[in-house]
């Protein structure tokens, strides 16, 4: 599809969404043809950070690169890659922690496109690397910007993406195969429950998990999975988004039966 036609298609898609009850008032009339497009995705490659127990990492194997044979030869390149679902910028399907939850390919597209809510706790996380978002933080955001809209893609900014790809700085520990001594901020269970009750479609964060590093029961994963709320982990560039008014498009690989998948996540900002 020609790029200009693609832009018109996506513009029409966002207009259609802005006319539904899912959209927030701030998102009304967003013209993405004039919007700034922000990539919220880390590249998937040899420096990608994976959960410590996933020790295989990322592998890219060259199948062919160079000119083809014959009088009509031309340049050709092809590779194969291997990676686990939950590494780099990726989506957690509800099924990841909920047996009856949607699998990756079952999540409706309407749940993956929506108005962004950006909650900034970077100052608090700088003082406490294990900081967890509190219900009071959500209440303070709502006091300043209005109620979290139904269908929102909530993005928690901790500032941790600035540490990428330093595994020790990002995870708090760099022991292969051991996830027992991790330290990074994320959502707290009460705040996550509050956001689920508001009707959030996705909870995203610029750290390795929607539960903070010391978590053992992964309560945020459990309660979001049970509510068919997806997660986005290892995001970046959240500092380039306003607290409200942006729209997010979060598209994972449509992995049949999967519990998650690498994702390309972008935001459209006025």
Whether residue 79 lies inside any domain: the answer is: no
Active-site residue among 96, 145, 168, 183? 96
Q: Cis bond leading into 165, ω under 30°?
A: yes
Whether residue 125 lies inside any domain: the answer is: yes
Pairing of strands 36-39, 59-67: unpaired
DSSP secondary structure, 238-266, as one string: GGGS-SEEEEEEEEE---TT-SEEEEEEE
Catalytic site includes residue 96 = yes
The helix/strand count (H/E) of the chain reads as 6, 12
Whether residue 61 lies inside any domain: the answer is: no
Q: Look at phi and psi of residue 41 and say left if phi exceeds 0, alpha if psi is from -120 to 50, else beta.
A: beta
Instruction: Work out whether the CA dihedral 96, 100, 21, 9 comes out positive or negative.
Output: positive
Whether residue 59 lies inside any domain: the answer is: no
The verdict on pTM exceeding 0.95 is no
Whether residue 186 lies inside any domain: the answer is: yes
Whether residue 8 lies inside any domain: the answer is: yes
Q: Which domain holds residue 204?
A: 3-49+84-269
Q: H-helix or E-strand containing 197?
A: helix 189-198
Structure tokens at 264: 């390309």
Q: What is the pLDDT along the chain (270 residues), one digit of tens a residue?
A: 444 444 444 554 554 444 444 443 344 556 778 899 999 999 999 999 999 999 888 999 999 999 999 888 999 999 999 999 999 999 999 999 999 999 999 999 999 999 999 999 999 999 999 999 999 999 999 999 999 999 999 999 999 999 999 999 999 999 999 999 999 999 999 999 999 999 999 999 999 999 999 999 999 999 999 999 999 999 999 999 999 999 999 999 999 999 999 999 999 998
Whether residue 42 lies inside any domain: the answer is: yes
CATH of residue 209's domain is 3.50.30.50
Measured CA to CA, the distance from residue 265 to residue 113 in angstroms comes to 10
Whether residue 143 lies inside any domain: the answer is: yes
């Amino acid at each position: 599809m020609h790029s200009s036609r693609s832009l018109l298609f996506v513009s029409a898609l966002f207009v259609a969404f802005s006319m539904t009850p899912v959209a927030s008032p701030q998102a009304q009339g967003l013209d993405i043809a004039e919007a700034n497009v922000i990539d919220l995705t880390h590249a998937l490659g040899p420096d990608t950070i994976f959960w410590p127990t996933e020790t295989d990492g990322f592998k890219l194997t060259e199948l062919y690169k160079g000119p083809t044979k014959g009088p009509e030869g031309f340049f050709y390149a092809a590779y194969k890659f291997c990676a686990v679902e939950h590494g780099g910028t990726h989506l957690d399907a509800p099924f990841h922690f909920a047996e009856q939850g949607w699998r990756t390919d079952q999540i409706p597209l309407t749940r993956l496109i929506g108005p962004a809510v950006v909650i900034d706790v970077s100052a608090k996380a700088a003082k406490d690397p294990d900081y967890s978002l509190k219900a009071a933080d959500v209440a303070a955001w709502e006091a300043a910007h209005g109620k979290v809209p139904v269908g929102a893609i909530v993005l928690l900014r901790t500032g941790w993406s600035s540490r990428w790809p330093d595994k020790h700085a990002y995870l708090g520990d760099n022991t292969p195969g051991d996830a027992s001594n991790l330290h990074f901020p994320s959502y707290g269970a009460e705040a996550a429950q509050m956001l689920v009750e508001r009707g959030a479609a996705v909870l995203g964060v610029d750290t390795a998990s929607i539960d903070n590093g010391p978590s053992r029961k992964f309560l945020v994963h459990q309660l979001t999975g049970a509510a068919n709320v997806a997660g986005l982990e290892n995001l970046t560039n959240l500092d380039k988004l306003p607290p409200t008014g942006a729209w997010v498009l979060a598209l994972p690989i449509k992995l049949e039966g999967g519990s998650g998948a690498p994702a390309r996540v972008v935001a459209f900002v006025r």
